[in-house]
Structures are given as structure tokens and as C-alpha cells.
């Protein structure tokens, strides 16, 4: 884990990053339902599931997916946490 993060425990960092991703999803799509899951599964540290309204266009859904995936990748590089973000039909 990055030296700047060593002062915090892994759970605090995971909680912060999951919250950050959930807030990003709500910022990008305020009408979306966002669920956060901290259960570990295989190599996952956590997961964020986003359920946008059916009125969102395919292009808007793709943009949402891309923005969340990009931030997940950055978080993994920064913290070594593997967090999955998925955008699903409501």
C-alpha cells in the first residue's frame, strides 16, 4: 500500500474509496440507485452497483461506466484495492 496511506488501516481506506465511488456515481447520475457491498469475493475488496433510470441513453450509460471504471483503476494503482463498479438495468 502506498506510503501516504500507511497511517490509516485498510478498512478505513476501503470505506473511503467505496464512499468516493458511490458519491461519484450519484454526481454523474443523481437519479441512479447506488449500492455498496464490502463483502470480499475472491480477489475483490468491495463493489459498487449502480442502477440508472431507464430513461438514460445508451451513450450516457457508457459514459457513466467509463468514468467509474477509470476511477476504480486509479484507486487500485493508488491503494492496491480491487473495487468493482458495475452499471446495471434497473
Domain-wise residue ranges, the chain: 1-31+64-84
Three-state DSSP at 45 gives coil
| Confidence class for position 1, pLDDT limits 50, 70, 90 | very low
| Confidence class for position 6, pLDDT limits 50, 70, 90 | low
**pTM for the whole thing?**
0.87
Measured CA angle at 20 (ends 41, 42), to 5 deg = 10
Mean pLDDT, the chain, rounded, equals: 91
pLDDT in tens, 49-85: 999 999 999 999 999 999 999 999 999 999 999 999 9
| Confidence class for position 10, pLDDT limits 50, 70, 90 | confident
Amino acid at each position: 500500500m502506498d506510503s501516504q496511506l500507511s497511517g490509516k488501516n485498510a478498512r478505513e481506506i476501503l470505506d473511503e474509496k467505496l464512499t468516493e465511488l458511490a458519491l461519484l456515481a450519484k454526481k454523474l447520475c443523481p437519479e441512479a440507485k447506488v449500492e455498496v457491498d464490502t463483502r470480499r469475493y475472491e480477489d475483490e475488496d468491495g463493489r459498487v452497483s449502480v442502477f440508472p433510470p431507464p430513461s438514460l441513453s445508451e451513450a450516457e450509460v457508457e459514459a457513466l461506466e467509463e468514468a467509474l471504471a477509470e476511477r476504480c483503476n486509479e484507486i487500485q494503482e493508488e491503494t492496491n484495492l480491487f473495487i468493482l463498479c458495475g452499471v446495471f438495468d434497473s
